[in-house]
Amino acid sequence: MFSSSAALLKLRMRATASKARIKWMGGIFRMDADKENSKERFHIGIDLGGTKIEGIVLDHQYRECRRIRMETRSSDGYANVLQRIIEIHSQLAMVALGKEVTLGICTPGSISKTNGLLKNCNATELNGHPLQADLLQRLGRPFTMENDANCFAIAEARHGAGSGHGCVLGIVLGTGVGAGIVVNGHLWSGRHGIAGEWGHMSVDPNGPPCYCGRKGCAERYLSGAALEANYQQSTGQSADAARIVEMARRGNKAAFDVLDQFLSRFAGAVANVVAVLDPDAIVIGGGLASIDELYEEGALRLQRMVFNDAFHTPVLRNRLGNSAGVIGAAMVGV
């Protein structure tokens, strides 16, 4: 059985060799289409977020043709979210009618390779549902599904701040904390699809409980909600992350102390990842990526905490902004 399958694969490879380049990537043959077909290929990307669902159509040169956004409304139930994804896909598909189209879907979690259910999603209402299987049945076409941090990382590595760097660590600091790893332009998701999940590395075993079941996860200290909760705990007052940073810059001691602690925790948590990965570039995305101090004082503290006598890896602000997730989804599509 194996020999005949191998022979069949060789025949197919010979038959397509003149029309495509075949690359070996982690146990999968990836084929780059010939120029004639690539001129007709459009790319649909859909980014499923906790608050909004965004869709985009890119042409063969990855130029935007159309973009659609609508609220996720996950509180209305899983079936409602599913239907909204279907609606966005239908509208986007009309733009590329008659063209060869790829589809990629970005999610705030990932699909379990054990049971096919969505997991590790900070929009917890979506966890435990067979999103990939349900969409496959409803759409009737193949697609790729990746988590949001991976989509962010591949978009920034190929066309954003990480362009030109070999190994890019794209980290997301927002509603949740995550990361994607891209090596030489290709996403590295790992054997179980959890590569880059540094948000659930415990930085304090005695810290606050996390929804993942652990205590003291990086996400419990470095997300926007964590920053705001820390300020409220220190002062008894409420303020959003942007306001806290603004007050810290104006000399408010309580806000300054909260931001100072945030930067130290950022440096320590990222230093743990650097010790394993040693990337060529670190790109920051998410709502907290706008904090200038991350690229100045945060990067300086990271340099001091890395286990080496020198650290030259740049810590970069993303270039694609909130579009990175949906663009990355379009890039990974099939």
Do 180 and 116 fall into the same domain?
no
Do 169 and 264 fall into the same domain?
yes
Do 105 and 132 fall into the same domain?
yes
The count of structural domains within the chain is 2
Do 255 and 304 fall into the same domain?
yes
Find where tokens 């995305």 sit: 285
Q: Would 2 be classed as within a structural domain?
A: no
pLDDT of residue 32: 42
List, as own/partner pairs, every contact residues 262-265 make where C-beta atoms lie below 8 angstroms and the sequence separation is at least 24, other chains included: 262/221, 262/222, 262/227, 262/230, 263/293, 263/294, 263/297, 263/298, 263/301, 264/301, 265/203, 265/218, 265/221, 265/222
Do 204 and 281 fall into the same domain?
yes
Q: Would 96 be classed as within a structural domain?
A: yes
Do 226 and 259 fall into the same domain?
yes
Q: Would 13 be classed as within a structural domain?
A: no
* pTM for this prediction: 0.84
What is the CATH number for 63? 3.30.420.40
Do 93 and 181 fall into the same domain?
no
Among the ranges 5-19, 107-121, 130-144, which has the highest mean pLDDT value? 130-144
Q: Would 158 be classed as within a structural domain?
A: no
Q: Would 22 be classed as within a structural domain?
A: no
Do 235 and 108 fall into the same domain?
no
Q: Would 16 be classed as within a structural domain?
A: no
Query: What residue numbers bound the domain in which 292 lies?
Result: 164-317
Do 305 and 186 fall into the same domain?
yes
pLDDT digits (tens, 9 = 90+) for 253-296: 999 999 999 999 999 999 999 999 999 999 999 999 999 999 99
pLDDT of residue 30: 36
What number is the average pLDDT over the span 285-311? 96
Residues 6+ apart with CB under 8 A from 8: none
Q: Would 17 be classed as within a structural domain?
A: no
Do 134 and 211 fall into the same domain?
no
Q: Would 62 be classed as within a structural domain?
A: yes
Do 173 and 304 fall into the same domain?
yes
pLDDT digits (tens, 9 = 90+) for 210-222: 988 999 999 999 9
Looking at this protein, which amino acid is placed at residue 90? S
Do 132 and 49 fall into the same domain?
yes
